[in-house]
Amino acid sequence: MTATASIHGISLAYTDAGRGTSVVLLHGFPLDRSMWDAQVEALAPRFRVIVPDQRGFGESPAPPGPLSMDRLADDVAALLDHLRLRRAVVCGLSMGGYVAFAFARRHADRLQGLVFCDTKAVADSPEARTGRAEMIELVAAKGLEPIAGRMLPRLLAPATLQRRPEVAELVRRMILRAPPDGVRGALQGMADRPDSTPLLPTLRCPALFVVGAQDALSPPEEAGGMCARVPNGRLVVVPDAGHLAPMESPAAVNAALAEFLGGLA
């Protein structure tokens, strides 16, 4: 079911499918909830899968200005309130993972589990912040086309680019239709996010780390390092996938998610 919820001054669009243990899937940047289509299809027969377009992306609008990870995390908590759900598993990919960290900081008692896909705990380096500022200028001057050109080769594994051009095309189209205000706001919000590394040993719920073996942006070593710091963590490295493992190797990611969610019930 596709629906909208009135949340903190905007109409947040989301998909809500299935029944059972609830999992919220948070998309990466600059994408939208359709990046999780294969997971909704595979998981909804056994679990309740809730997938918002985070504000500023897809069908969820946002006023111009910085989009902090805290704001996006509070939207998730408000969406759970709207759905009358006390607790859920929160699963975020890359920027969605930064939001999952913010959620863990601000709403820990609402977590049944955490899944971090192709993401990292550390804050931006000074060079990364400079890169974000350049991208904000680029989007203002030229729109999303140069962003798609710059990001696609880094988002996908070489094998995906060569053998699955349809996945590359889906991602390219998703980037091109991203609302420029949301893109600029999220770039600023990501640049401003804090280091979440100190949070890792304090996480009390089970945590799953899923990473593409060829993720060039948040490599497996990064995920392994995070997993080693949490009290109850598991690591799954997905062969032949890059930064968008759920789109590049859906079967492997679906299996890892189903096993994790099934173990929580």
Positions in 10-49 near ligand MLT (CB under 6 A): 28-29
* Residue 182 binds ligand MLT (CB under 6 A): no
Q: Does 116 bind ligand MLT (CB under 6 A)?
A: no
The least CB distance from residue 46 to ligand MLT, in Å, is 27
Q: Which residue, 31 or 227, is less far from ligand MLT as judged by CB? A: 31
Q: Which two tokens stand for residue 218?
A: 């948040």
State the minimum distance, in angstroms, from the CB of residue 242 to ligand MLT.
10
Torsion, CA 94, CA 189, CA 87, CA 114, rounded to 10: 30
Is 190 a residue that touches ligand MLT (CB under 6 A)? Answer: yes
Complex with ligand MLT: residue 89 or 121, whichever CB lies closer? 121
The closest of 88, 94, 93, 92 to 113, measured between CA atoms, is 88
Q: Is 258 in the site for ligand MLT (CB under 6 A)?
A: no
Which string of x and - marks every residue 118-157 that binds ligand MLT (by CB under 6 A)?
----------------------------------------
How many chain residues interact with ligand MLT (CB under 6 A)?
7
Least separation in angstroms between residue 217's CB and ligand MLT is 5
Q: Which of 60, 94, 160, 214 binds ligand MLT (CB under 6 A)?
A: 94
**For ligand MLT, which is the closer residue by CB, 29 or 103?**
29
Closer by beta carbon to ligand MLT, 95 or else 237: 95
Give min distance, CB of 247 to ligand MLT, in A. 11
Q: Is 189 in the site for ligand MLT (CB under 6 A)?
A: no
Residue 95 binding ligand MLT, by CB under 6 A:
yes
Partners of 111 in beta bridges: 88
Q: Which is nearer to ligand MLT, 92 or 206 (CB)?
A: 92
Q: Among 17, 217, 255, 258, which residue interacts with ligand MLT (rule: CB under 6 A)?
A: 217
SS3 letters across the chain: CEEEEEECCEEEEEEEECCCCEEEEECCCCCCHHHHHHHHHHHCCCCEEEEECCCCCCCCCCCCCCCCHHHHHHHHHHHHHHCCCCCEEEEEECHHHHHHHHHHHHCHHHEEEEEEECCCCCCCCHHHHHHHHHHHHHHHHHCCHHHHHHHHHHHCCHHHHHHCHHHHHHHHHHHHCCCHHHHHHHHHHHHCCCCCHHHHHHCCCCEEEEEECCCCCCCHHHHHHHHHHCCCEEEEEECCCCCCHHHHCHHHHHHHHHHHHHHHC
Sites of contact with ligand MLT (CB under 6 A): 28-29, 94-95, 190, 217, 243
